Structure 1
Amino acid sequence: MQNYHHYLTVKPLLTKDEFAVTEQVAKNFGAPGGVGEKLQLMLEEKGAKEPNWLSEWWLDSAYLSYRLPVLVHSNPALVFPKQNFLSKKEHLAYAAKLIVGALRYKAIIDSGKLEQDYLGKSPLDMSQYTKVFNGCRIPGLKTDTIRHALDSNHIIVIHNNQFYKVVVYGENGQILDDRDILNGLTCVTQKYNGPSAGVGFLTTECRNVWGIAHKELNKDPVNRASLQAIEDSIFVMCLDKSSKIEDNATVSTRMALQLLHGYGAENNSGNRWFDKTLQLIVSEDGVNGLCYEHSPTEGPPIANLADFIVNYAQEKTLRDDERHLTPHCERLTFNLTSALDEDVMLAKRNVDQLVQDVQMNSFSFDKFGKEDIKALKLSPDSFIQIAIQMAFIRLHGHPAAHYESASTRRFHGGRTETIRSCLPEIVNFANIHLKQNLSPHEKFKALQSAVNAHKGYVGMAINGQAIDRHLLGLKRLAIEGGIDIPSLFLDPGYSTSNNWRLSTSQVAAVNDMVMCYGPVTPDGYGCCYNPRRDEINFAVSAFNSNPTTCAEKFGEALKKCLEEMRDVATSSILSSL
């Protein structure tokens, strides 16, 4: 099997003896007549019958069967440029413009007129865009489902943890004007100031716990109607209060955390419905952006939506004319039993613990950007990925399993494949640079080799020729077919190589934005970046509960690695002139 050699890139993560075992296990798995060949034939048979043999398996294993809270562990947030609101009206007016911008983008999608995405000259599957609006994840006892309303004319606005159904289309079916939406938001903020049932907190819980509570909520007809209004809405707008936080975090880091988790029960974590595919968030203090439920779509379609609505909001001036249409605005109510009240209280305690555990370091690296890297005849993404792995080695003294998401949207229904960025060539360059006193020219040759190895793996991944989704398919076939789990999947080398201590992704946006998310392992880092012309925006996360990781130190190591790599390249180029 061709993937046998690609799998052996696990070598930097294993001892010599461990690698010898893993190499033999992989060889046996791929041998003619072996279990791997049997499963491969079964996979090819399945692939011949389905437009995408992977999509349902990936949706289930990566998202719907995942039982940790979607908050931090799964949902990413995208930070928009900060605003400076001088009044409550300005706060609501900006939120209104984001709402109308999002509705206009939806109209473009619905009309089939959205500009085609390309990777190079290859057109990409556009189906993820159709899943951004009207969607909601529904918690279950063992696995979740996705609900997608075929037709909806309202959004949900959350204010002071209260939920409001706001109609956003006129009787003629047209999107309401920004001014009309502003009137609706004003109505929301003036409508009710009483206590909240706090049901939004339930969406921060572990999925099994939330699934039980969701089932209990649905027993009451009032609750059922309110849940349906939320779940069938086009999207959610969260009107946040200013978070009361006392720490030494930078403004950019506070913004990222506000959008990722809302800063806990006393701030805005209950002013959310984390199951909704799209939540726009605008705070009184100018923090704004979005949080999205990850199962229907990847980051790039969300970033394209964000660029559109941010541009719309920046360019649009609200008319202060005589039109004063106020859209239908209805507060949703909930009847909670004493057991559900206890569930809400427990959810508040749990979300506060999770919020306290999250470290974030959001910063703009401003020494150079992607154009400077291109001028060195190096791939910006490969360059950044090498710096991320080297930063880990610099901090921890050894390499880490390193996940970068690659788009497989060249294929029908394609989502992602794993780029395994802990490649031998990358680790070799890091070790040469950090531990050996070689000339800039020798280091640059090692850097070029690392870049080329990474680019080669990227090429395999985007063309569906990498190993991780393939292995997932073979493993699922064994499980569903009642076949003993092959030894490959029980080998320590397999589990080590899938313990993604570095979970990374490039989410490019035109505007000054950055996406953020939590680590996927307790002892790991999340690292998302937006390479811009003259700077690179980063958001690095870690957990306080692990004493070995530190987002602040990782960010400093990353900056140092980026600068040193640039110096290696420029010194080598200058010396050859």
Structure 2
Amino acid sequence: MTVQTGREAATTAAPTGGMVPATGTFDNEDSLPRVPLPGLAESCARFLDWCAPLLTAEQLAATEAAVAEFLAPDGPGPALHAQLAAFDASEGVHSWLDEFWPARYLGRRDRIALNANFFFLFRDAVPAPTAEALPGGPQVERAAGLIAAALDYKLRLDAERIPPLVRRGQPQSMVQNRFLFSTTRIPGLEQDTVRVPYSAAWPGPSDARHVLVFRRGQMFQLEVLGPDGTPHTLAELATGLVDVLAAADLTPAPDDTAVGHLTTKARADWARSRAALLALDPANAVALDDVERALFCVCLDHVTPPDRIATCDQLLYGSAAGRWYDKAVSFVVLPNGQAGINVEHCGLDGTTILSFVDELLAAPAAELSARSGARAHGRPAVRPVTFVLDEALRADIRAAAQAFTQFGADTASVALTFPEHGADRSKALRISPDALVQLAYQLAHHRAKGLIGATYESIATRQWRYGRTEAMRVVTPEVLAFVAAMNDPTADPATRREALRAAAGAHVRRAGDCQRGDAPEQHLWELAFIQRRHGAELGVPAASPLYESPGWLVMRDDYLSTSSAPSENIEYFGFGSTSGKCIGIAYVLLADRLNIYLSTPRPVAAGMHAFADRLREALAELDQLLATDPARP
């Protein structure tokens, strides 16, 4: 998830530096600059700068001592960094982060449903005035349209006709697009793997012709491409979906037969359950193959949530009787035609998904279906996907369903909208829109909880080869001074404005550092991973005290975890909180409004609600402060 996305990222303006604009989707990849490997001393110095505002003097001194020990010529840092530099220079390596991302995402052992997956709630569909009436009502019409649009995108991607993104003159990596279709995360006991096209095991684009459709605890394989690879027509897709509804609604499946529930378990537990499925009956291997090879999931939920926040919650952690949380892309369509997407995060960031969604919603579904070359193939084949289950597996499914239901119930959330605080308003006030909302978060959090805590913000770095995101830590000395000035009853408006603009400037500079690759956290984190993998052979058998220092622990113990998804096609986006005290803040900062989804563990929900109240006040207060600036034109 990320700051840089949406229509701004989807520009095809000619890049700077004399490069010839690429036409094929992946034409820029080999010419993109490599992610720069920071120097060890520089990363350690930045780490101390970044964590210092969060530490007491005693904590900072202890952290400085741990850094000095790490950096010493006979310390672990130089040996680990040398190993990383050698890896970065190795043949076939795209980036020094090549092993970092699998370790970070695929190595996590907790559940990914709600903890890692994220969602987007789409804007409502705009009906085409001459659209052909489709059978099945608004849910089927919307789902058929999304399938048709996604097939058009896939076929263009297969032919490498998706224009490579260029942002502010800089080509962006398109590698993540290869993970949009037929990509499934596979649980492992120690680390997960990914079943994906464009790999040695599956060269080239996916040759699957079906999607996986969920309804009332059942899974169906729906053929969406004909034998010649051209899509079914919109009407045929709708007919296939109607057939799914008829079959599923006639005989809803018992909840303890919905194997999707197992995808909500902690990863090693799910790996053991998957092994039990495979061991029980050969038919289960066939069923898993149908699931894992499917182009994507279409979840036809049978319940319409009562309001917007319940809709967001359902997109994030709806019942896994109707989900397979390991699939990269799952479209969720409600009975009233509202729709969104749930995304497995290991290979896909928000930037890629947003540009994908922008393409899907760029034109009426009939137009995209026609562009794809859709033609009549007859009624699409629909086949149930079933598993052979014994009582032990059914009990396993029941337990997983119960645990995930409780996990969702233990999560509190809020959906906020601020039509008066869009990006255009910030620009009129001569301040960075992202910096302004981030500073409002800091002020609101301090007023709600009485402290400034570690805050994470995701920064997109796709301008680098195989680039993904960088971890930005928001709290700077300028943030501390800003919050102090805003809470000082004796401070005059000029003093507060000066502190606000200084903090905004520091925020913009740090975001720029992250985009340039000058950020410490992922570098130091990868050195810790190297110690685990190669420590014994490098003479570093034990983890460095750096990773137990107050600075490392406090800086990464988030009170706020934030990420932005700016696109006119998205109403809300969201993810779960990252710790027992964290507030997850997913915000859609558009020209004319700011929409925010907050999530936190229910035991600390009072703090989130207080934060929401203080945030409304803080945004209005900062707006008034800047609007009354005598220097403003």
TM-score if structure 1 supplies the norm length?
0.93
Q: 1:221-256, CA deviations, whole angstroms, 9 ceiling, x for partnerless residues?
A: 1111111101110000000111576xxxxx221111
CA contact (8 A) 2:421 2:619 kept: no
Query: Residue 158 of structure 1: which of 214, 225, 230 is its match?
Result: 214
CA contact (8 A) 1:165 1:229 kept: yes
Residue 498 of structure 1: aligned partner: 556
Secondary structure, aligned partner of 2:320 = coil
Query: Residue 243 of structure 2: which of 179, 184, 187 is its match?
Result: 187
CA contact (8 A) 1:277 1:293 kept: yes
Equivalent residue runs for 1:470-509 within 5 Å: 470-479=523-532, 480-482=534-536, 483=540, 484-509=542-567
Separation in structure 2 between the aligned mates of residue 545 and residue 502 of structure 1, nearest angstrom: 16
Residue 54 of structure 1: aligned partner: 97
**Once structures 1 and 2 are overlaid, which stretch shifts more, 107-116 or 512-521?**
107-116
Secondary structure, aligned partner of 1:387 = helix
Secondary structure, aligned partner of 1:175 = coil
Query: Residue 464 of structure 2: which of 383, 407, 411 is its match?
Result: 411
Q: 1:243-281, CA deviations, whole angstroms, 9 ceiling, x for partnerless residues?
A: 576xxxxx221111010111xxxxx43111111000001
Is 1:349 the counterpart of 2:397? The answer is no
Separation in structure 2 between the aligned mates of residue 51 and residue 307 of structure 1, nearest angstrom: 28
Equivalent residue runs for 1:332-481 within 5 Å: 332-479=385-532, 480-481=534-535
Residue type at the aligned position of 2:46: H
CA contact (8 A) 1:523 1:548 kept: no
Cα distance, 1:84–1:464 mapped onto 2, change above 3 Å: closer
CA contact (8 A) 2:103 2:529 kept: no
Q: Could you tell me how far 1:555 is from its partner in structure 2?
A: 2.1
Secondary structure, aligned partner of 1:2 = helix
Separation in structure 2 between the aligned mates of residue 243 and residue 198 of structure 1, nearest angstrom: 20
Residue 35 of structure 1: aligned partner: 76
Q: Could you tell me how far 1:73 is from its partner in structure 2?
A: 0.3
In structure 1, the gaps of 5 or more residues are 246-250, 263-267
CA contact (8 A) 1:72 1:260 kept: yes
Secondary structure, aligned partner of 2:362 = helix
CA contact (8 A) 2:46 2:519 kept: yes
Secondary structure, aligned partner of 2:361 = helix
Secondary structure, aligned partner of 1:399 = coil
Q: 1:151-190, CA deviations, whole angstroms, 9 ceiling, x for partnerless residues?
A: 2111111111111111111232111111110011011112
Residue type at the aligned position of 1:532: L
Is 1:235 the counterpart of 2:292? The answer is no
Query: Residue 21 of structure 1: which of 56, 59, 62 is its match?
Result: 62
Residue 252 of structure 1: aligned partner: 308
Secondary structure, aligned partner of 1:125 = coil
Secondary structure, aligned partner of 2:487 = helix
Residue 545 of structure 1: aligned partner: 603
Cα distance, 1:512–1:489 mapped onto 2, change above 3 Å: closer
Secondary structure, aligned partner of 1:447 = helix
Cα distance, 1:399–1:146 mapped onto 2, change above 3 Å: same
Separation in structure 1 between the aligned mates of residue 288 and residue 273 of structure 2, nearest angstrom: 12
Residue 231 of structure 2: aligned partner: 175
Equivalent residue runs for 1:275-294 within 5 Å: 275-294=326-345
Separation in structure 1 between the aligned mates of residue 177 and residue 605 of structure 2, nearest angstrom: 40
Q: Which has the higher contact order (CA 8 A, sep 6+)?
A: 2
CA contact (8 A) 2:305 2:311 kept: no
Residue 130 of structure 2: aligned partner: none
Cα distance, 1:27–1:471 mapped onto 2, change above 3 Å: same
The aligned length equals 562
Query: Residue 298 of structure 1: which of 339, 349, 360 is its match?
Result: 349
Q: Could you tell me how far 1:352 is from its partner in structure 2?
A: 1.3
Q: Could you tell me how far 1:14 is from its partner in structure 2?
A: 1.5
CA contact (8 A) 1:238 1:281 kept: yes
Separation in structure 1 between the aligned mates of residue 632 and residue 338 of structure 2, nearest angstrom: 48
Separation in structure 1 between the aligned mates of residue 388 and residue 147 of structure 2, nearest angstrom: 29
Q: Could you tell me how far 1:414 is from its partner in structure 2?
A: 1.4
Q: 1:451-505, CA deviations, whole angstroms, 9 ceiling, x for partnerless residues?
A: 1111111111111110111101221222222213222112122111111221111
Q: 1:325-381, CA deviations, whole angstroms, 9 ceiling, x for partnerless residues?
A: 211111111110111010011012101101111111112211121011112221111
**Once structures 1 and 2 are overlaid, which stretch shifts more, 330-339 or 483-492?**
483-492
Residue type at the aligned position of 1:166: L
Separation in structure 1 between the aligned mates of residue 361 and residue 321 of structure 2, nearest angstrom: 25
Residue 42 of structure 2: aligned partner: 2
Residue 105 of structure 1: aligned partner: 153
Secondary structure, aligned partner of 1:546 = helix
Q: 1:124-166, CA deviations, whole angstroms, 9 ceiling, x for partnerless residues?
A: 1110111111100111222211001442111111111111111
Residue type at the aligned position of 1:557: R
CA contact (8 A) 1:410 1:463 kept: no
Q: Could you tell me how far 1:13 is from its partner in structure 2?
A: 1.7
Q: Could you tell me how far 1:324 is from its partner in structure 2?
A: 8.3
**Once structures 1 and 2 are overlaid, which stretch shifts more, 440-449 or 188-197?**
188-197
Separation in structure 1 between the aligned mates of residue 99 and residue 559 of structure 2, nearest angstrom: 26
Secondary structure, aligned partner of 2:604 = coil
Separation in structure 1 between the aligned mates of residue 588 and residue 305 of structure 2, nearest angstrom: 28
CA contact (8 A) 1:12 1:399 kept: no
Residue type at the aligned position of 1:147: R
Q: Could you tell me how far 1:84 is from its partner in structure 2?
A: 11
Residue 265 of structure 1: aligned partner: none
Query: Residue 224 of structure 1: which of 285, 306, 314 is its match?
Result: 285
Q: Could you tell me how far 1:565 is from its partner in structure 2?
A: 1.4
**Once structures 1 and 2 are overlaid, which stretch shifts more, 85-94 or 43-52?**
85-94
Separation in structure 2 between the aligned mates of residue 347 and residue 4 of structure 1, nearest angstrom: 43
- Taking only the aligned residue pairs, the percentage that are identical comes to 28
Query: Residue 534 of structure 1: which of 586, 592, 598 is its match?
Result: 592
Q: 1:55-88, CA deviations, whole angstroms, 9 ceiling, x for partnerless residues?
A: 2222222x21212211110000111124699994
Secondary structure, aligned partner of 2:79 = helix
Cα distance, 1:309–1:53 mapped onto 2, change above 3 Å: same
Q: Could you tell me how far 1:32 is from its partner in structure 2?
A: 5.3
CA contact (8 A) 1:183 1:324 kept: no
